[in-house]
């Protein structure tokens, strides 16, 4: 069910434009992420999806426009301050610490959040267990299969209960069966933990299957947003993004 949009408890981008040199990667983008719901973000390569996630997580300051969290302006906060404030993310390429085992990959984040080593290890174990990958705890992060690497990345992002989780292409390289398991995990993150999720994916079927609300970005602009029915019946989306798939089907 879609929750009522409420700026007092939302992560929001309002009129965000990001310019690199003379190139506008994002133009006047407005997006609201609410707790307990999954929001999809789809769009072709280079549409600006990662730039938007970077902007919502403090890795990229907006050129104009604002980012707010619970009504407070956070557009100029650095990433670790936003993480402490409850905005967590994963990266397009895993970015685990390859010299550490899985448990320590999570524990390091806990310590970075100011928690003790023992509390961080306990939280790490609890999360690995909740996700169903406790058996990976002592394995080196280097050399994990894709699917495990992604799940460990999500577990790490969930350390100490963030309010928001932004996932940048978590299903890349997965089979349909693996992507379906991931979809179950994403639903649980929203339903059981009450976290607001933003899911970026090229696997449009996955996005449509889990999202309460979907945004479509094309050449830096939101060209459509709404529930799955709105997206599927949108001529703009068909023209800009789904057209090629549809013709091929
Ligand atoms: N730091 C940067 N400097 C200059 N241009 C950049 C920078 N970061 C991104 N861009 C450009 O901005 C545009 C949007 O890039 P972005 O990575 O956000 O797209 P994306 O939708 O995530 O693409 P993909 O689906 O391939 O991951 C691209 O044209 C990219 O080359
Ligand atoms: Mg990207």
Cut 0.75: pTM above it: yes
Quote the CA–CA distance of 104 and 227 in Å, as a whole number: 39
The residue extents of the domains of the chain are 7-248
**How far is ligand 2, taken at its centre, from the CA of residue 199, in Å?**
11
Q: Which pLDDT belongs to residue 94?
A: 67
Choose one of 13, 31, 47 to mutate for the ligand 1 pocket test, by most ligand atoms within 8 angstroms of C-beta: 47
Write down the mean pLDDT value for the chain.
92
Choose one of 19, 43, 51 to mutate for the ligand 1 pocket test, by most ligand atoms within 8 angstroms of C-beta: 51
Catalogue the long-range contacts made by 30-33 (C-beta closer than 8 Å, 24 or more residues apart): 30/222, 31/56, 31/215, 31/222, 31/225, 32/5, 32/7, 33/164, 33/196, 33/197, 33/198
Ligand 1 atom closest to 169 (CA): 27
For the chain, helix (H) and strand (E) counts, in that order, are 10, 10
Q: Which pLDDT belongs to residue 248?
A: 44
Choose one of 20, 57, 203 to mutate for the ligand 1 pocket test, by most ligand atoms within 8 angstroms of C-beta: 20
Q: Which pLDDT belongs to residue 65?
A: 97
The first and second tokens of residue 185, run together, are: 């995990």
What would the pLDDT profile of 79-124 be if each residue is shown by its tens digit? 999 999 999 999 877 688 989 999 999 999 999 999 999 999 999 9
Q: Which pLDDT belongs to residue 247?
A: 46
Say which ligand is closest to the CA of 44: 1
Q: Which pLDDT belongs to residue 7?
A: 56
**How far is ligand 1, taken at its centre, from the CA of residue 74, in Å?**
22
pLDDT band at 169 (very low <50, low <70, confident <90, very high): very high
List ligand 1's pocket residues with C-beta within 6 A.
Answer: 20, 23, 25, 43, 45-51
Burial profile 37-62: b = 16 or more Cβ within 10 angstroms, e = fewer: bbbbbbbeeebbbbbbbbbbbbebeb
**What percent of the chain has a predicted confidence (pLDDT) above 70?**
93
Say which ligand is closest to the CA of 18: 1
Ligand 1 atom closest to 60 (CA): 1
Ligand 1 atom closest to 20 (CA): 4
Residue 249 scores a pLDDT above 60: no
**How far is ligand 1, taken at its centre, from the CA of residue 47, in Å?**
7
DSSP state of 140: B
Q: Which pLDDT belongs to residue 167?
A: 97
Quote the CA–CA distance of 245 and 240 in Å, as a whole number: 11
Nearest C-alpha to atom 29 of ligand 1 is from which residue? 46
Tell me which residue has tokens 């310019």. 19
pLDDT band at 229 (very low <50, low <70, confident <90, very high): very high
What CATH architecture applies to the domain 7-248? 3-Layer(aba) Sandwich (3.40)
Q: Which pLDDT belongs to residue 220?
A: 97
Q: Which pLDDT belongs to residue 3?
A: 46
* Residue range 218-232: mean pLDDT, rounded: 95
Residue 191 scores a pLDDT above 70: yes
Q: Which pLDDT belongs to residue 240?
A: 78
**What percent of the chain has a predicted confidence (pLDDT) above 90?**
81
**How far is ligand 1, taken at its centre, from the CA of residue 23, in Å?**
10
The first and second tokens of residue 94, run together, are: 């895993």
**How far is ligand 1, taken at its centre, from the CA of residue 232, in Å?**
26
């Amino acid at each position: 069910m879609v929750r009522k949009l409420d700026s007092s408890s939302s992560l929001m981008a309002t009129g965000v434009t990001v310019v690199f040199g003379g190139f506008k990667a994002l133009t006047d983008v407005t997006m609201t992420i609410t707790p307990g719901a999954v929001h999809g973000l789809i769009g072709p390569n280079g549409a600006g999806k990662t730039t938007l996630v970077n902007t919502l997580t403090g890795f990229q300051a907006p050129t104009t426009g604002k980012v707010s969290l619970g009504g407070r302006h956070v557009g100029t906060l650095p990433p670790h301050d936003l993480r402490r404030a409850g905005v967590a993310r994963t990266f397009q390429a895993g970015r685990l610490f390859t010299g550490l085992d899985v448990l320590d990959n999570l524990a390091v984040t806990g310590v970075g959040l100011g928690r003790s080593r023992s509390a961080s290890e306990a939280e790490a174990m609890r999360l690995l267990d909740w996700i169903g990958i406790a058996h990976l705890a002592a394995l080196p992060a280097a050399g994990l299969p894709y699917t495990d690497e992604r799940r460990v990345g999500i577990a790490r992002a969930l350390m100490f209960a963030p309010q928001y989780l932004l996932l940048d292409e978590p299903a890349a390289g997965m089979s349909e069966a693996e992507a379906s398991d991931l979809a179950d995990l994403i639903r649980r993150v929203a339903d059981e933990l009450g976290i607001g999720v933003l899911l970026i994916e090229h696997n449009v079927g996955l996005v449509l299957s889990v999202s309460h609300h979907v945004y479509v970005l094309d050449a830096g602009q939101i060209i459509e947003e709404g529930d799955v029915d709105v997206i599927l019946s949108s001529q703009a989306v068909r023209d800009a993004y789904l057209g090629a798939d549809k013709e091929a089907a």
